Amino acid sequence: MIPRFFRTWSFRLTLLYAGLFTLSVLILFGVIYWSALAYAAQDEADENDVEFHAIVDEAELAGYAQLPRIIENHIRQRARAPAAYLLEDAELHKIAGNIDPMPPRDGTFRIKPTLNGKKHRASAHFYEMPNGDHLLIGQDSASLKEMKELIARAFGVGVVATLILGLIGGGIVTTSVLRRVESVARTSRAIIAGNLSQRVPLRGSDDEFDHLAASVNAMLDRIEDLMRSMRQVSNDIAHDLRTPLTRLRQRLELARRHKQSVPELQEALDDSTLQIDSILETFGALLRIAQIEAGQGVTVNAPVDMSNLLTNIAEDFAPAAEDRDQTITTGLEPDLEVAGDRALLTQMVVNLLENALRHAPPGAQISLTAANGSNGVSVAVTDNGPGIPAAERENVLRPFYRLETSRTTEGNGLGFGLVAAIVKQHGGTLTLEDNAPGLRVTVLLPSRAAA
């Protein structure tokens, strides 16, 4: 069984990088090697040229008849670093030198002469003398061979060192990455087991893994909030719907057991229908909140004229306010425009006004205002009713939550929950404040330009 370390993606990436680095070193070796060879070959050719010109200069001073003596002197002077010399006449008869005669060749070529009893490699070149003789000069290539071996050894050590360091560095990186990944895996396993409070630890290094951990933790916070909200909603549904369902069943059971007149039976059926409608309305509101939070069928980027929308809603609610001896006043700036879903924004304002009308006493003043600010369009609904205690303002945004003082009024406790869902879907903020007396609800929506 291959250890997990060697099966990780990080280790495979390490091998890839080590291979690329090794290949880079080999390419560098090839470039330097061939450049050094070319330089050394040119250096040998230059040295042959220098030696040839030195012999020619001496011959011009002493006379070309002294060429054999001059060459023998050069051979003796190069005893420690032997060089090949050969002076031939036009008929290829050897006149002087330390190697056997050979036909002249063009350019630089390699020979293997025996010098001082040892076999050597030399870079040779034939030169034509002014008197018609041919002179071969060959420089020993031992230094070139040593340079080749030195470069090969240096780069061999470099390749091995690069590979080893690449694997060691990759192993360190792989181990570090595996530890970070394993911390995410442990957190995930704990959450799968039911511990939603677990979070991925952050090192504070502000690197990619910290960013990933922060994103995962934010996602887990959101999931925990949703689960908590789901549990709360489930409990609220069980609590708030148990009473009407129980009352409905008792009424129907009573009608079934007792012989009632047709009018009494009709009244029982009508009352039961109203209760069923109320329950269906509650479930419809819950479904609508879920759809809004999921973004289903919601278009939040269409232009909406808030000034026109609020004016129409205020006019529609004016008769209902008069029936309750209440007054609706407006203070709306013109040409207020946001990007959103017109139907949802209408429902948001309607819910806020309905809540104000329902809970404010007769003779109350209800105000609907809207203005454009630096952070967006601000819509406010205020009343001078009983208001909401500061400690309860966060709670009323939860589905089904109702204040004790409002238990006797109509409603299912979903109004503010629906408003909160709509505001959140539009990227806005919802604020509940004391109106001294009464309640002030402010919704801040991004203007269309900002959106």
Q: Which of 48, 59, 121, 60 is nearest to 95 (CA)?
A: 59
Pair 319, 437 in one domain: yes
Q: 155 lies in a domain?
A: no
Could you please report the per-residue DSSP string of 347-402?
Answer: HHHHHHHHHHHHHSPTT-EEEEEEEEETTEEEEEEE--SS---GGGTTGGGSTT--
Q: 378 lies in a domain?
A: yes
3 state DSSP class of 123? strand
Contact 382, 355 (CB under 8 A): no
Pair 57, 106 in one domain: yes
Domain CATH number, residue 28: 3.30.450
Pair 215, 79 in one domain: no
Q: 342 lies in a domain?
A: yes
Give the residue numbers spanning the domain of 109.
4-146
Q: Which long-range contacts (CB under 8 A, 24 or more apart) does 282-288 make?
A: 282/240, 282/241, 282/412, 282/414, 285/412, 285/414, 285/418, 286/233, 286/237, 286/399, 286/414, 288/418
Query: In whole angstroms, how large is the CA radius of gyration of the chain?
Result: 49
**What are the helix and strand counts (H, E) for the chain?**
8, 14
Q: 250 lies in a domain?
A: yes
Dist CA 210 CA 47 (whole Å): 64
Q: How many CB atoms lie within 10 A of CB 347?
A: 16
344 or 244, higher pLDDT: 344
Phi, psi angle pair for 138, to nearest 5°: -130, 125
Summary mean pLDDT of the chain: 79
Give me the mean pLDDT over the 296-315 stretch: 82
3 state DSSP class of 96? strand
pLDDT for 1 equals 54
pLDDT in tens, 251-299: 777 777 766 666 777 777 777 787 777 677 666 666 666 666 665 556 6
Q: 190 lies in a domain?
A: no
Q: Which of 228, 366, 344 is nearest to 295 (CA)?
A: 344
Alpha helices in 87-207 (DSSP H): 142-192
Q: With a cut of 70, say whether residue 120 has pLDDT above it.
A: yes
Q: 134 lies in a domain?
A: yes
Domain-ending residue, one of 109, 128, 146:
146
> DSSP secondary-structure letter at 414?
-
Pair 273, 310 in one domain: no
Q: 417 lies in a domain?
A: yes
pLDDT in tens, 188-238: 888 788 777 778 888 777 777 788 888 888 888 877 777 776 676 666 666
Give me the mean pLDDT over the 51-79 stretch: 86
pLDDT for 407 equals 44
Contact 235, 401 (CB under 8 A): no
Domain-ending residue, one of 146, 168, 191:
146
Pair 320, 435 in one domain: yes
Dihedral angle, C-alpha 93, 94, 95, 96, nearest 10 °: 170
Q: What is the domain count for the chain?
A: 3
Domain-ending residue, one of 103, 130, 146:
146
Domain CATH number, residue 356: 3.30.565.10
